[in-house]
């Protein structure tokens, strides 16, 4: 491996300018250096690299075979260096412009919206647009800077960062429990009135885990209420229509206040991940970076 400590990397910039300008004189004018200084730098660079890079004549300047390969690599290296500098500088700039975020309806309203409001207060130059929906959205076509996704990610060409996780609890209203009793086994739930979220691939089925390696597969035979939003399921469950499998972030306050009761608290659906998804790029925009950092703080990432 080459010893870069013996090479003055500043000369790579001069070499690239010489090739682009086509002559030592033109490169010197572009860089504000005398022709003799440019020539001296090229001689020293060839000595440091150990190969001839330039073909010199009285009429024209060209590249050796090694020089052509070296020039291509130089351009890549200089581009990478420029991106590194820009990336470092983004940390010094306040996020600005419009941040467009997509999120599921319940998580977007309960978690993401308040978080974005706090970011707006901290960074007044940042404008916010939140798009909530339970269908997958095309980030590029819709101009979305970052999307929040719950559960398993579908394959895509986007970059993703895990920001946290969530559990799903079995809950019902106190009135429902008074009417139907508190179940003692997971299997007892299957025949009880159930509130189903229809946007799930299999709303009538679920897997439960007790955290000790035991699992149960349930198929609910008594779907008493079905709706296409988690908000609708929660409202129906609060009203006593049935029991439901609810995300912990959506019902934690209800459970704490006694409006809902956890059934079989030792059992829950397997934990799932929360990801921030954004279009692939050499580096993240500052507005995306501050949002993801803030989301990690509240989502347990």
Q: Domain-by-domain residue ranges, the chain? A: 4-90, 97-163+276-299, 166-272
Give me the torsion for CA of 261, 266, 272, 276, rounded to 10°. 50
Domain spanning 97-163+276-299 has what CATH number?
A: 3.40.190.10
* pLDDT recorded at residue 155: 64
Higher pLDDT, 10 or 213: 10
* pLDDT recorded at residue 200: 86
Q: Same topology for domains 4-90 and 166-272, yes or no?
A: no
Q: What band does 42 get if pLDDT is binned at 50, 70 and 90?
A: very high
Which class for 58: exposed (0-12), middle (13-18), buried (19 or more C-beta within 10 A)?
exposed
**pLDDT beyond 90 at 199:** no
| SS3 call for 11 | helix
CA 99 from centre of chain: 14
pLDDT tens string 148-175: 999 887 766 788 889 999 999 999 999 9
Name the pTM for this structure: 0.63
* pLDDT recorded at residue 37: 94
* pLDDT recorded at residue 58: 66
Per the listing, tokens 């999307």 go with: 147
Instruction: Report the relative pairing of strands 54-56 and 61-63 from DSSP bridges.
Output: antiparallel
**pLDDT beyond 90 at 147:** yes
Domain spanning 4-90 has what CATH number?
A: 1.10.10.10
Over residues 256-282, mean pLDDT: 89
Sign of CA dihedral 66, 68, 71, 73: negative
pLDDT tens string 213-263: 788 899 999 999 999 888 899 999 999 999 999 999 999 999 999 999 999
* pLDDT recorded at residue 163: 92
**pLDDT beyond 60 at 29:** yes
Residue 256 contacts by C-beta under 8 Å, 6 or more apart in sequence?
none
**pLDDT beyond 80 at 88:** no
**pLDDT beyond 70 at 90:** no
Over residues 36-55, mean pLDDT: 92
CATH class of 166-272: alpha beta
Over residues 140-152, mean pLDDT: 88
**pLDDT beyond 90 at 115:** yes
In angstroms, rounded to a whole number, what is the distance separating the alpha carbons of residues 195 and 243? 6
Over residues 47-55, mean pLDDT: 91
Q: Please state, rounded to an integer, the average pLDDT across all residues of the chain.
A: 88
Higher pLDDT, 146 or 91: 146
């Amino acid at each position: 491996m080459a010893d870069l400590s013996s090479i003055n990397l500043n000369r790579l910039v001069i070499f690239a300018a010489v090739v682009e300008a086509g002559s030592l004189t033109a490169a010197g004018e572009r860089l504000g250096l005398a022709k003799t200084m440019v020539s001296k730098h090229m001689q020293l660079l060839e000595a440091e690299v150990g190969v001839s890079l330039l073909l010199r004549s009285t009429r024209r300047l060209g590249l050796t075979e090694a020089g052509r390969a070296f020039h291509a690599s130089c351009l890549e290296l200089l581009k990478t260096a420029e991106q590194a500098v820009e990336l470092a500088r983004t940390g010094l700039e306040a996020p600005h412009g419009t941040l467009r975020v997509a999120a599921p309806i319940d998580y977007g309203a309960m978690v993401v919206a308040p978080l974005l409001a706090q970011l707006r207060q901290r960074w007044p130059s940042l404008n916010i647009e939140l798009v909530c929906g339970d269908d997958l959205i095309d980030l590029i076509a819709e101009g979305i800077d970052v999307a929040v996704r719950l559960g398993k990610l579908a394959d895509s060409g986007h970059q993703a960062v895990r920001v946290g996780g969530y559990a799903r609890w079995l809950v019902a209203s106190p009135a429902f429990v008074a009417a139907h009793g508190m179940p003692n086994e997971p299997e007892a739930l299957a025949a009880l009135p159930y509130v189903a979220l229809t946007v799930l691939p299999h709303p009538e089925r679920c897997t439960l885990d007790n955290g000790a390696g035991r699992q149960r597969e349930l198929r609910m035979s008594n779907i008493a209420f079905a709706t296409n939003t988690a908000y609708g399921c929660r409202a129906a469950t609060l009203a006593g229509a049935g029991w439901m499998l609810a995300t912990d972030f959506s019902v934690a306050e209800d459970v704490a206040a006694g409006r809902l009761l956890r059934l079989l608290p030792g059992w829950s659906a397997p934990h799932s991940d929360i990801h921030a998804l954004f279009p692939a790029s050499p580096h993240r925009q500052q507005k995306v970076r501050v949002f993801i950092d803030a989301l990690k703080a509240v989502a347990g990432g």
